[in-house]
Structure 1
Amino acid sequence: MWKYTVRVTGMMCGMCESHVNDAVRRAFPVKKVTSSRSKKETTVIAETELDEAALREAIRATGYDAGEIRKEPWGKKGLFGR
């Protein structure tokens, strides 16, 4: 699984966060997506690698600016931190 953290500017409220989340869900089969206007980022958890250009475009199509994307392997932490 992969975790993508996308720098997103222009989100001003909870509805903005929802618009970005919905756009990502429509564009990709993701496990989880959350956005934070205060952190200015969207976090996406996916089982497979995503096309970063398409991820940026999906967010930009909602009217927000998508910048830097950080990608890292992601594993759900168990009871003992494994």
Structure 2
Amino acid sequence: MWKYTIQVDGMMCGMCESHVNDAVRKAFPVKKVTSSRSKKETVVITETELDQEALQAAISATGYDVGEIRKESWQKKGLFGR
């Protein structure tokens, strides 16, 4: 699985975070997406690699500024995910 951390400027409230999350969900089959206006970032967890240009375009289309996109391998941690 993959974790993408995207710098997103311009989110001011919870609705802004929701708009970005919805745009990502509509554009890609993701496992999880969370946005934080305080951290100015969106984190996407997915089973497949994403087209980073398309990811940037999907978020930019909502009116927010997209900066750096970092991709890293991700494994679920928890009670059974050793």
Alignment RMSD: 1.1
1:61 equivalenced with 2:61 (yes/no): yes
Unaligned runs of 5+ in 2: none
Unaligned runs of 5+ in 1: none
Q: Which aligned pairs between 1:1-82 and structure 2 lie closer than 5 A?
A: 1-79=1-79, 82=82
Give percent identity, aligned residues only.
83
Report how many aligned residue pairs link the two structures: 82
* TM-score scaled by length of structure 2: 0.96
Residues in 1 aligned to 2:49 and 2:25: alpha-carbon distance in whole angstroms: 14
Amino acid at match of 1:49: E
Residues in 1 aligned to 2:64 and 2:57: alpha-carbon distance in whole angstroms: 10
- Post-superposition Cα deviations, 1:39-78, rounded to whole Å, max 9, x if no partner, equal 0000000000000000000000000011100100000013
Q: SS where residue 72 of structure 1 aligns?
A: strand
Residues in 2 aligned to 1:28 and 1:45: alpha-carbon distance in whole angstroms: 11
Q: SS where residue 38 of structure 1 aligns?
A: coil
Residue 79 of structure 1, CA deviation: 2.4
* TM-score scaled by length of structure 1: 0.96
